[in-house]
Every structure is written in C-alpha cells, then in structure tokens.
Amino acid sequence: MPEAILSLSNVTKQFGALLASDNVSLDLMPGEIHALIGPNGAGKSTLIKQIAGEIKSDSGDIRFAGRDIGDLDAVERSRMGLARTFQVSSLMPEFSVLQNVVLAQQSVSGKIFRFFKPVLSDASLLEPAMAQLERVGLADRAQMRAADISHGERRQLEMAVALALKPRAFLLDEPMAGMGPEGSKRLTGFLDGLRAEAPILLVEHDMDAVFALADRISVLVYGRVIATGTVDDIRGNEDVKRAYLGEEA
Amino acid sequence: MSMNRETILNIVLAALLIAVPVIAQIMGEPFIITLATKVAILGMAGVGLNIALGYGGLVSFGHAAFFGIGGYAAGILASHALNYEPIMTAPFEINGTTQMIVIWIVALIASALVALLIGAITLRTSGVYFIMITLAFAQMIYYFAISWPAYGGEDGLSIYVRNSFPGLNTLDPISFFALCAAMLGVAIAFSAVLIRSRFGLALHGARQNSQRMMAIGIAPFRVRLVAFVISAMITAWAGALYADLNRFVSPSMLSWHMSGEIMVFVILGGVGRLFGPVAGAALYIILEHLLGGMFEYWQLPLGILLLVVVLFARGGLIGLLAGERKHA
C-alpha cells in the first residue's frame, strides 16, 4: 500500500466548551479524492484550517509528505505544497484576475524580493499564469478586476490560484458553493481529472458532486469522524443516514 | 505605455515644480525658490511614507523618527567636521564630513537599522495599535534627542555652512533646489519601479488580503518589513536634505507634529498615488503661506480641507484631477 500524502491522527481542537475537532483521524492517498462531508457546523472548515495551519490544533498529529507539520505555520505549509481554496472566496479584490494568479506564480518561483524588473511584463510568470486561467476557463476575464467578476468566476479564480501553486495536495473548501448547476457540473469534470495531478481533500455540500467524484468519503458530525468508506459504504451506513443523509435526502 | 490622465497630471506637476523656481530666479525672488525647495524635500519625505502607507496600507504615525534621523545625520556629521572634532578616536578615528553624499549614505544606513528594529516590533500589530506603537517609538527618539546635550538637546544643532556636493555651489538657492528636485525625481522613479516589480505586487497583495498571502506561501510580515525599511530610508534621505535647507536640525524634526505633517501630504495629495505626496506638500506649503500671511490660525481651514478630502475625495488632489486609481 502506498504511503498517505496527508494523514491526521487524533487531531483535536476545542473552542471553549465546543469540541470542534474530536480525535479526527483520516488520510489522503496519492491519486484520490477524499470527500469530507457533514452537516453545517460539523467542523469541516475548522479541520481544513487546522490542516492548512491557520488554526493550531490542541493535540494530535498532522503529517504531510512524510513530515510532521504540526509546528509549521500556514505559509510554510503552503510552501511545502499544501494548497487550499476558501469557502468564501478570498482573493485580491483590487488586482486583475491575472495578477491574482501571477502573485501565486511568483510565490512558487520563490523570488519575491525583486525590486526593479516590472512583474507584468515577465513572461516567466505571465505565461504559466495565463495557462492556469485557461484551464479553469477564465482566460477571457484575465484583465478584469477580481472584485468585478461574478461569484462563479471568483470560485474559478480560487481554483486557478491553487493550481498555480503546483501543490502536492489540494484542500478544497466547498469549491462548488454558490455555483449554478452548469458551473458545478463543469467543475466536477475538472476535479475528476485533477486527482491525477495531486490528491484532493474535498469539503463539499453538493452530494451529486461528492458521489460522482469521491474515492472515499469521511463523515464528520460534531467534530467526530463517524464513518469513512467508499461511496457505497457511506450510502449504506445506518449511522450516516441517521446523522446526516437522512435529514437532507 | 499609453498616457493616462494621471501620467499627464504628473508631468504637469513636475514641470510646475521646476518652472516656478526658475521663474523666481529670473525675477529675483529667492524666497520662492526656498519654498519650492521645501516642497521638493517634504514631498520626498511623503514619497517615502507613501510606500508604507499608500502601497502597503501601513499607517505609520512615526515617520518623523526617520526624517529626524536623516536630519541629525547631516547635523552631527557636519558639526564634527566644522569643529574639527573626530566623532570617535578609539579604536580608530572617525571624522565628521560636510560631503552630502557621505551624509546621505549614513542617513540611509542609520534609518534602515532603526526602521528594521521598529518595524520588526510594530508590524506584529495592525490597525490602531500599529499607529500608536509607531507614534510611541518616534516619541522615544524625540525625547532621546531632547535629553542628549552633546548635540544641542532641545536647542538643536546649527549647520553653519550648507554641506557640499561635488561640482555644485549648494549655497546658491537655485542650485540647491536643482539638487533636491533631482533627488525627489530619483525617489519617485524608484517608487514607480518598485510598485511595478515582483515586490510591489506582493506589497499590494499584503495590503489587500493577508489570509490569501499566507495561503499562497508568502509571509506578509516580511514583505511589510522590507517596505517599511525602504519607506523609512527615503524619508530619512529627505530629512538630511531638510537639515541642509534650514542649516539647522532640532528635535522638532522628530516630533509627532512632523509625522502628522508628512501624513497630511500623502492624504491631501492622494494615498498610493505616485505624485500624491508632492501635490500634497505643494498644496500644504502654498496654503501655509497664503493663509498663514492672513491670519494666525491658518491650520483651522487646513483642518477643514483635510476633513473634506478624507470624507469626499479619498483619492486626494490627484484623485480629484485624474480620477480613480487604476487597479494596483
């Protein structure tokens, strides 16, 4: 069995009396899409923040690419190849769509402290950035301000920025949120191909997308993983039905 | 590059700044040349602050510290040179100098070191806390200067003869103006290049969204710290010129009034606009002399003007004349 690229063991986070993450253990294998589902308030976003390094865990271990990353901050984890998208688009609103991706490209190049050469005529940044925009279907919006594009387009831009980082794993926090059915379908097709590039930990409410994409699903309820398994396992699991699917389906 | 309205406005401003003292020279009005020199120098101090405040969103209320460090670099080095007293004798002898180039280098290095220290501490805070802590650091340096008798303490330090620059009679007002205007040009050109560079993009990004910066693997703190240091160095350079303009340096260059004034130049002219600080400094000095001649409380209408700018014309003078800023 290949080694997991990302693995959490007994990760816990408590906010006051609220146990946001309760002994969470899960892993992300090379080439897979591992979906993380659960009702609102189950702690999915908190868990993503813990993995991304934005929130420090109270206890437990997070290993990424064969290394304990518990002491690394968000910047260091990103530089190790952990790329996340945000549930609520978090972009540079005053930048053009292209500049948003160029900045990520610049981070990957490792050369931030260059003070003289104009960045927006630097083909070594512009070309790969444009290529990412083309991949997500946003090339024709390249020169628009990020604040002025539609909600769905901002979700696409989030993806383009993550792609530009050339990560070893993606953490996607509800990439379909607020996208129309057409957009969701297109993104589903896109993510399907993306898993070959890097495995994806996918938080998503869109069950059609989850069932279509996931190699494995973990169900989070009140901060606890109550089940992990294939799509069929999860569909047939009584606890899951009771705690989660039963309410919505 | 196509010429947009702001570029044209900038060219007009630069032409005016050069034309006014030239005409004053022809008409025999040295006082106006001195005023124009003041605009160039204070504008340059604002160009420095604009890098932190305008591009980086770092509202430093302590830039007088750097302005004053530049001023004291000029004052201290010149006073040692003019009095033939070495600055130190052991383990080796260091003498003062009246060469501006050496003074500038000392001002740049000293301000960079102080800014690195102040920035490393203050940039861990943000918002109002950042404003207050930068103010506190500047006040510490201010009181230090007041209580240090070796260099005049509260009375300040006179520079009997303006420091010299190779091939130039710096005592001639128009020549000294030309020198200051050229240095302002260097500062503006540098910041124009800087904001279009990789670093500039990162700095604009750090202002807009820290969370996103971290997610793509760039530590905003480091970007801000470098910007703060560069910003301080340009303001200190202007401070060295200001001391030479007045042939005098005193703790007032380090006071919070001065910090506020430099900030007013940037806000009046247009935050984050290349020529904003120059336009702001020009407007400030013109008002100071028009209104100041008329009545004692000239800062009252200035205060009202500032209020109007903040409330209704966020882009300042440049924004009013050239329209909204193009994206980043």
Q: What is the pLDDT of residues B166-206, one digit of tens each?
A: 999 999 999 999 999 999 999 999 999 999 999 999 999 99
Tokens of B107: 């001002």
Q: Per-residue confidence at A249, pLDDT binned at 50, 70, 90?
A: very low
Looking at the complex, report in whole angstroms how far the Cα of residue A125 sits from the nearest Cα belonging to chain B.
10
Give A-chain residues touching B215 at CB under 8 angstroms.
52, 74, 78, 83-84, 86, 90
In tens, the pLDDT along A66-125 reads 999 999 999 999 999 999 999 999 999 999 999 999 999 999 998 899 999 999 899 999
Average model confidence (pLDDT) across chain A: 92
**Given this model, what pLDDT does residue A41 score?**
84
Q: Per-residue confidence at B53, pLDDT binned at 50, 70, 90?
A: very high
Task: Report the topology of domain B3-320.
Answer: ABC transporter involved in vitamin B12 uptake, BtuC (1.10.3470)
CB neighbour list of residue B45: distance below 8 Å, 6 or more residues apart: B63, B67, B234, B235, B238, B239, B242, B262, B265, B277, B281
In tens, the pLDDT along B76-112 reads 999 999 988 888 887 888 889 999 999 999 999 999 9
pLDDT > 90: what percent of chain B? 80
Tokens of B223: 């970007």
The answer to whether residues A188 and A209 touch, using CB atoms and an 8 Å cutoff, is yes
Give B-chain residues touching A107 at CB under 8 angstroms.
216-218
Tokens of B288: 């100071």
Give B-chain residues touching A96 at CB under 8 angstroms.
327-328
The answer to whether residues B239 and B64 touch, using CB atoms and an 8 Å cutoff, is no
| Cα(B61)–Cα(B133) distance, integer angstroms | 8
Looking at the complex, report in whole angstroms how far the Cα of residue A153 sits from the nearest Cα belonging to chain B.
17
End-to-end CA distance of chain A: 35
Q: Are strands A33-37 and A200-203 parallel, antiparallel or unpaired?
A: parallel
Q: Per-residue confidence at A244, pLDDT binned at 50, 70, 90?
A: low
| Cα(B78)–Cα(B99) distance, integer angstroms | 8
CB neighbour list of residue B72: distance below 8 Å, 6 or more residues apart: B145, B151, B157, B243, B249, B253
Which of B198, B228, B271, B324 is best to mutate for the A interface (most A CBs within 10 A)? B198
What pTM was estimated for this model as a whole?
Answer: 0.94
